[in-house]
Structure 1
Amino acid sequence: MPSEFSEFSDADAAALYDRLNPWDPQLWPGDAFYDALVAAAPSVLDVGCGTGQMLHRARERGHTGRLAGIDPDPAALARARRRTDVEWVEGTAARAAWDGEFELATMTGHAFQCLVTDEEVAASLTAVRTALRPGGRFVFETRHPRARAWEAWNPANASEVTTATGRTLRVEHHVESVTGDVVTFTETTTEAGAVVRTDRSRLRFLDVPALDAFLASAGLLVEARYGDWHHGPLAPGSREIVTVARRP
C-alpha cells in the first residue's frame, strides 16, 4: 500500500502493523488454528507472510523443518528477515517458483482477499498448487461476504497504539466504494490530529461458489471448510470462510 505522506515511512508502517496485530495464539483463535497446522507440517510455505510473525514463532517453538515466506512488501520482509533461519522471498503469490516442495501452504491475515482480479486469483492458486507436494494442503481464510465486515470500517472504530518510540497514533478506516465483490477503502494514521500517512487498498470478498470454482480450476480439492476458528461448520451467519484445500 503506497503512502501519500512521507512523515511515516513504510518501515514505520510495518512496525506499526506488528504492534496492532501481534501473533498471539493465546489471544487470537485464528493464530492458534494456524500454529497447530504449522507445528505438524515438516515443510511450510507462508504466502503473503508479511513481517513473518507466524514463522518466527514456529522457529521459537522448536520447528526444525523447512520454513519459507513470500511477500511483495520489502519493508515487511525487512522485519521478517531479522530471523535468518527461515527462507524469505520478495514476490507475489503468482510469481512463486517452487515445485512440489511443501506439505503445507498458508495465507493468513485475510491476505487472500488482496487478490482482486480473476487473473490474480487464478495465477496465485496455480502457483500455490505447484509449490505443494502431492497430498499437500493449502489453508487460508477469507471474510464471509454475508457478514459485511466493511460496514464496521469507519472512524468510530478507530484504533490507538503507542509505538516503541513513544508515539501515540490513531488508525482509522473509511470505505470509498463497494463495487461487486471488491471493497475499496483508505487507512489513515494520525498523530495529535495531524495526518502522517494515508494508504488506499482494495479487498475482494468472494462467496463460496466463486471461491470453489477458482480452486477447482487450479486443481485443488476442498478437503474441509469451517465457519470459525474452532472447526465449526460454515453457516450463513459465519464471519469467516476457512478453507483447507488439497493437491491431489
Structure 2
Amino acid sequence: MPDHAFTDARLAALYDTLNPWGPGDDFYLDLVRGAGAVLDVGCGTGALLVRAREEGHRGRLCGLDPAAGMLAVARRRADVEWVEGTLGSAARLEGPFDLVVMTGHAFQVWVDDAEIRTSLAAVRGLLAPGGRFAFETRNPAARAWAGWTPARAVEVDGVRVAHEVVAGFDGRTVTFDTTFSAAGWAGAEVSRSTLRFLSEGELDGFLGGAGLVAGARYGGFDRSPLTASSPEIVSVCRVAD
C-alpha cells in the first residue's frame, strides 16, 4: 500500500515543492530524450515525463504509480499516459519500452525479496530489444537515515515537515515517520515509510536473477565513480547477453 503522503491529495500537492527539480531529474531527462517509448515506474506527480513532453518529446510517455493522490497531480497533462497500479497489478500496461526508469529512490519501496524479483522480472518483460532500465538507490554505507531527524524539519507553503526514524537500519530496512503540520489543520498528518537499502552486490544479484545487468554504474548523478562513501548507487541496466 502506498504511503499516506502519496495517497492524500493535500499532502501529494506538496511533493514537487518539497522535492524541487535537481541533478537527478536532469540525469533521467537526458536518458528520456534519447528514448522512443518510456515508462516511469513510481512516476509520482509526473514531473519528469511532463518536462520531457514540454521539451517536445514525441514518443510514448507512460507513468505508472499506485498512489491516486500523486496521479491526480500528474493528470494535469493529458498528452502523457497515466496508469494507476504497480508492475504486478497493472494489467493494462503493455510494452515494449525503450527505457524504463525509477526515480526519487522509488526502487527502495520494494522491501521484500519476492517483490523485488517479481518487479524486476516485469521490467525485463517490458523492455524492447536494446532497451535500458535506469534507477538509483541510496548507498547503505552513506547512512542517509542518520539525517532524518526532527531537528532538520523544513517548512513549505506554511506546512512543517519533519522526519523521525522509528526503526533503525537492521541490515535490510529503515522505517521512519514523516509528520506534516500547519496552523489551521485539525491535527498533524503522519506518514510511515519503510525503505530497503541494498548493497551493490545485492543489487547485482537481484538484477542477474531477472536477466538484467548494470551496463553503467555511478556513485552520483554527476556520473562519478561509485565508491564506498558515494551517496547513491545509480544503475543503467540492459538485458544480459
One-letter amino acid of the counterpart of residue 186, structure 1? D
Residues 42-68 of structure 1 show CA distances to partners (whole Å, capped at 9, x for unaligned) of 110000001111101111111000000
Equivalent of 2:10, from 5, 9, 12?
12
One-letter amino acid of the counterpart of residue 174, structure 2? V
Contact map agreement 1:99 1:132 (CA 8 A) in 2: no
Shift of 1:192: 3.8
Write the mapping of 1:72-151 to structure 2, written as runs, cut at 5 A: 72-97=66-91, 98=93, 100-151=95-146
Percent identity, aligned pairs only? Answer: 56
Corresponding position of 1:175:
165
Shift of 1:181: 1.4
Shift of 1:3: 4.3
Corresponding position of 2:37:
43
Contact map agreement 2:101 2:134 (CA 8 A) in 1: yes
Corresponding position of 1:227:
219
Contact map agreement 1:95 1:124 (CA 8 A) in 2: no
Corresponding position of 1:190:
181
RMSD between aligned alpha carbons?
1.7
Equivalent of 1:21, from 19, 22, 31?
19
Residues 152-172 of structure 1 show CA distances to partners (whole Å, capped at 9, x for unaligned) of 00011111111xxxxx11000
Corresponding position of 2:203:
211
Residues 182-227 of structure 1 show CA distances to partners (whole Å, capped at 9, x for unaligned) of 0011000111497420011100000111110000001111101000
Segments of 4+ in structure 1 off by > 4 A? 1-4, 96-100
Shift of 1:29: 1.3
Question: What TM-score do the two structures reach when normalised by structure 2?
Answer: 0.93
Residues in 2 aligned to 1:2 and 1:61: alpha-carbon distance in whole angstroms? 31
Structure 2 runs not aligned, ≥5 long: none
Structure 1 runs not aligned, ≥5 long: 163-167
Contact map agreement 2:65 2:71 (CA 8 A) in 1: yes
Contact map agreement 1:96 1:127 (CA 8 A) in 2: no
Change (3 A) 1:79 1:99: closer
Number of positions where the alignment pairs a residue of Structure 1 with one of Structure 2: 235
Residues in 1 aligned to 2:3 and 2:36: alpha-carbon distance in whole angstroms? 36
One-letter amino acid of the counterpart of residue 34, structure 1? Y
Shift of 1:230: 1.2
SS of residue in 2 equivalent to 1:94: coil
Contact map agreement 1:96 1:128 (CA 8 A) in 2: no
